[in-house]
Amino acid sequence: MKRMYKLEGRLCGNCAAKIEDKVAKIDGVNKASVNFMTMKFTLDTADEKHADILEESKKIFDVIEPTCTIKA
């Protein structure tokens, strides 16, 4: 399942790359992309795990760039 989420707050290119890296390493993620220019987070995962992975991604955002949040 591939879905796109809007991001809010401050996000720099460095943090975006770090977050992208970490999310991509979660089990069940096919592809993750954090686009700091369009402020969009694209998450492509196995269907049944999507909600869990989204929650986990939110935590990763919180750690690396607490001022940036995923608008669900």
Partner 1 sequence: MDIIDKKKLARIIIALVLFLVAEIIVHLGLTDGQYGLWIQFGLFLVPYLIAGYDVLARAGRGIVHGQIFDENFLMSVATIGAFALVFFPDAEPHMAEGAAVMLFYQVGELFQDYAVGKSRKSIADMMDIAPEFANVMKDGELVQVDPYDVAINDEIVIKPGERVPLDGIIVSGKSQLDTAALTGESVPRVVEEGAEVISGCVNMTGVIHVRVEKPYDQSTVQRILELVEEASERKARTENFITRFARYYTPVVVGMALILAIVPPLLFGQPWSSCVQSALVFLVVSCPCALVISVPLSFFGGIGAASKRGILIKGSSYLETLGSVDTVVFDKTGTLTNGSFNVVAVHAEHDVDPDHLLSYAAHAEAYSDHPIAVSVKESYSGIIDQAQIDHVEERSGQGVSAQINSHTVLVGNDKLMRAEQVPFHNCELVGTVLHIALDGAYIGHIVIADVLKDDAQAAIAGLRNAGVKKTVMLSGDREEVAIAVADRLGIDEVHAQLLPAEKVTCVEQLLSAQNEREKLAFVGDGINDAPVLMRADIGIAMGAMGSDAAIEAADIVLMDDKPSNIATAISIARKTMRIVWQNIIFAIGVKVVIMILALPFIGIATMWLAVFGDVGVACLAILNAMRALRVKG
Residue with smaller CB distance to partner 1, 48 or 58: 58
Least Å from the CB of residue 13 to partner 1: 4
Least Å from the CB of residue 42 to partner 1: 8
Q: Return residues touching partner 1 (CB under 8 A).
A: 8, 10, 12-15, 17, 31, 33, 35-40, 42, 63-64, 66
Least Å from the CB of residue 63 to partner 1: 4
Find how far residue 24's CA is from the centre of its chain: 9
CB burial of 23-55 (b: ≥16 within 10 Å; e: otherwise) equals beebeebeebebebeebebebbbeeeebeebbe
